[in-house]
Amino acid sequence: MMKRERLLLLLSALLLALFTGIGCRSGQAEAPAPPETEEQATTVRPETTEEEKKPESAPEAETSETSEEPEEPEESAPPAHEGIWTPSELENTLGGADPIEGFNRAMFSCTDFIMNYFVDPVGRVYTSILPRPVIEKFNNLCVNLEFPARAFSCLFRAEWQGAGDETARFLINTTLGIAGLFDPAAHWFDFYSTESDFGQTFAAWGIGPGCTLILPLMSTLNVRDTVASIFDMAFDIKTYIPYAGYATALNRMVIAHRAYTKVVEGSGDPYKSYRELALLRRELQRKMYFYHAQNQAAAARKAKEKAEEAVKKAEESGDAEQLDEAKKALAAMLPPLPDRRTTPKPEGMTGNWISIPGYDGQSPLLDTLRVGMFQAQNNDDPWFFRLSFFNSDFTKQCSDRKIYFAEDLPALRYGFWKAPEKEEPEDAEKKPAPEPQKLAILLPGIGGNYFGMTTTAIAELLHRHGYAVAALDSTFTWQFMQSTGKRRLPGYLPDDAASLRRAIRLVLDELAAAEKISDPEVVLLGYSFGALHTLKIAELEAKENTLGIRRYLAINPPADLDYAMTQADALSRTGAEWSESEAVERLSDTGGRVMATMMKSYPVYDPAAEPTPGMSYRAPLDETEAAYLAGLYFRISIRGLLFHAHREWGLTLDTPYSWGDRNKLYCEIDKVSFREYAERFLVPEHPDKTLAELFGNSGLRSFEAELKRNPSIRVIHNYDDFLLSPEDRLWLDRTLGSRITWFDRGAHLGNLYVLTVQNKIVELLQENSNDSTPSTPPADPAAAR
């Protein structure tokens, strides 16, 4: 070995000896990235290895030097966990302490700067010159050259099957795969990458991870894995090829840019967001989750093929008994056919009723998670990466624009998609009369951003039907709260709706000043919490028309905010009884299945069409896991608000803000429930109102009379939405009558991927109002900037 490599290995040994006692419990994480192959997006639960089945030992208690009590011969049981499992507690359990957080944040800021101001501009040129297949094939070649590190990592921890698979992959891909440009080992022979490294080897040898350690552009997050990366380089063939490392780094940073942007974009604390998801990704890698999942999926596929072959042989032989047994064996391996029965309209319901055949509902909570299967259909260009000038993704067509509530306040960004251009007929005589411009304004659910997945999917749906689309952030985001300058937390509906109404007026003025729109026909669409805002704005506009909105469409609005918050808080208490090891095991496994599911592309489900073979829209979780994830989402939605408010103007929190030491502050914030948020923070901001009055004024019943008489309002709701009480359903139906459309299944937003629902959304926006269409008030040039 060269002198330089020997010196590096010696230094690594010294660092390992110095730092591994600063401790945390398990390995740290790589940056979350999509699986390398399509098979990694499986929802099959991987089998647990014998090593993973062993219960983890309890952390050793700290002992005083003066203690004279002898050690207990028997290992004590781990202490029971107290309270709910918050995101910060899970992060600390996976990654341990972060005693040099200030240093790590500074190093992460370097990475963030490089990703934004080097990788982004250089990547735009790089990905425009080289198409996506070329970049991906070069990455495959680089992965193939890293084979020795993965293989020896498996060998050194007695992972014999993994070592064999890595060796087979190298031989097959180097020959049949043309030096590794292609991956026939996975696609033809079911040999999958273990994603192993020497950090996993050191962990298997019992070496502790040490403290969190971030270095610029490195994916490792602790001392052990950082030191181990030196060994990974030593066993990497590219290390000994001049300039190969630089080319690989550039290529991978460009590929990782989109995933990195998804993690940090819109986050009030990118370091926190990155570390949380990276730790989960590393835990899955430590367990070889995707490797085991792919092998299990391949075994299931082969068993199915064998069963199909047995059916064919039985048919050829004419043995009826053998054929019957073979068909039964095959049927047991196939997923059950979707239930195509329809649900009759409940007695006494006066609203419109639509049943979705083949929806195959699981439960209200599990069906709610299917909102993740509602995706923009043109959002993954096969030829060019998102950075490329030639990329055709729908997200890339979004123009990021700004409005200002006041000149001395930060800008509020919003997204705008201009209306699609219509093809002009060649014959001028056949040219139709010009149609009015159509502009849809979108209000997302609680904590949603204008670039969120659901907002983007709805924007694409409307865009396909000729709409220009402007999408805003939710009032429950730190960006919106900061831009208003009110120094008030959101949550009181009259105030929130007034701020949104002002923002919409500013958007219309800014677009008109930029000549993006001209006297458009405006519709307002909100979903979930944004639907509640939509209906409140309709009430305000009925009193004074400032926006000229022709149609208000609310999708799944909560009727009683008190009831909805109580439901959300109940979900957040899920898993409070789990021990540390059980929480890590269950939630890492859940996270793996969710990551695999989210990496899939889901087409729109058409109930009238034949089912796509192998396509399932069922959530791959159980009820407890679904409850925890739903509660986690609700709790995180208020984290950024409280953190930003505490940092900027000081809330009544016990932990002071410190740039380089935020862990304790997040642990405190993450324990705040919705009810505590209302009682502790909203009530003091409105001293003239009680908590009951705040809730009452923030529910739909507070403006029941306007909901009854406003002909421009339309509502789409699901009968099994868990945020509605039985009384809410009856009240909504009685109040809105024929202006509400009920779907039998879908829970909270969980049927947006269904074509029937999408068609109904467009139909309700485009149908004529019973009253005259309001005209847009003239723009105020002084309001636009």
Coil, strand or helix: which one is 34?
coil
Helix (H), strand (E) at residue 716: strand 713-718
For residue 417, the cross-strand partners are 469
For residue 742, the cross-strand partners are 353, 717
Coil, strand or helix: which one is 505?
helix
Tens digits of per-residue pLDDT, 330-387?
Answer: 888 887 778 788 899 999 999 999 999 999 999 999 999 999 999 999 999 999 999 9
User: What's the average model confidence in pLDDT over 263-269?
Assistant: 91
Tokens of residue 409, six digits? 């306040």
C-alpha torsion 458→463→465→466, nearest 10:
150
Q: For residue 80, what pLDDT band results from cuts at 50, 70 and 90?
A: low
User: What's the average model confidence in pLDDT over 543-555?
Assistant: 97
In this predicted structure, what is the pLDDT of residue 278?
A: 94
State how far the Cα of 399 lies from the Cα of 590, in Å rounded to an integer: 35
User: What's the average model confidence in pLDDT over 485-492?
Assistant: 93
In this predicted structure, what is the pLDDT of residue 42?
A: 39
As separate numbers, helices (DSSP H) first and strands (DSSP E) second, the chain gives 30, 9
Q: For residue 767, what pLDDT band results from cuts at 50, 70 and 90?
A: confident
Using a pLDDT cut of 70, give the percent of the chain over it.
86
Q: How many CB atoms lie within 10 A of CB 533?
A: 25
State how far the Cα of 257 lies from the Cα of 120, in Å rounded to an integer: 8
User: What's the average model confidence in pLDDT over 646-675?
Assistant: 94
In this predicted structure, what is the pLDDT of residue 44?
A: 44
pTM: 0.88
Strands (E), 538-677: 549-555
Which residue has tokens 């099994």? 720
Q: Say whether pLDDT at 756 is over 50.
A: yes
Do 653 and 669 contact (CB within 8 A), yes or no?
Answer: yes
Tens digits of per-residue pLDDT, 54-75?
Answer: 333 333 333 333 334 444 444 4
In this predicted structure, what is the pLDDT of residue 614?
A: 75
Do 723 and 564 contact (CB within 8 A), yes or no?
Answer: yes
Cα distances from 287 to residues 53, 227, 291, 579, 584, in angstroms, run 11, 20, 9, 19, 12
Cα of 357 vs its chain's centroid, Å: 28
Using a pLDDT cut of 90, give the percent of the chain over it.
75
Which residue has tokens 């639509």? 354
Helix (H), strand (E) at residue 713: strand 713-718
Please, is 575 exposed, middle or buried when counting C-beta atoms within 10 Å of its C-beta (0-12, 13-18, 19+)?
A: buried
Between 48-62, 481-495, 714-728, the lowest mean confidence (pLDDT) is in: 48-62
371: Cβ–Cβ under 8 A, 6 or more apart, which residues?
454, 748, 749, 750, 752
In this predicted structure, what is the pLDDT of residue 201?
A: 97
- What is the secondary structure of 471-508 as a DSSP string? E---TTSHHHHHHH-----S--HHHHHHHHHHHHHHHH
Pairing of strands 468-471, 399-403: unpaired
Q: Say whether pLDDT at 436 is over 80.
A: no
Q: Say whether pLDDT at 685 is over 90.
A: yes
Tokens of residue 287, six digits? 């367990």
Tokens of residue 378, six digits? 């043109």
Cα of 257 vs its chain's centroid, Å: 16
State how far the Cα of 777 lies from the Cα of 785, in Å rounded to an integer: 18
User: What's the average model confidence in pLDDT over 282-307?
Assistant: 94
User: What one-letter code names the amino acid at 179?
Assistant: A
Coil, strand or helix: which one is 522?
strand
User: What one-letter code names the amino acid at 378?
Assistant: N
Tokens of residue 153, six digits? 């990592």
- What is the secondary structure of 437-458 as a DSSP string? PEEEEEE-STT--TTSHHHHHH
User: What's the average model confidence in pLDDT over 147-173?
Assistant: 97
Between 81-85, 533-537, 728-732, 780-784, the lowest mean confidence (pLDDT) is in: 780-784
Q: Say whether pLDDT at 425 is over 80.
A: no
Do 394 and 379 contact (CB within 8 A), yes or no?
Answer: yes
In this predicted structure, what is the pLDDT of residue 424?
A: 64
Tens digits of per-residue pLDDT, 205-215?
Answer: 999 999 999 99
Q: Say whether pLDDT at 275 is over 70.
A: yes
CA-based nearest residue to 647, from 478, 476, 499: 478
What mean pLDDT, rounded, does the chain reach?
87
For residue 679, the cross-strand partners are none
Q: Say whether pLDDT at 8 is over 70.
A: no
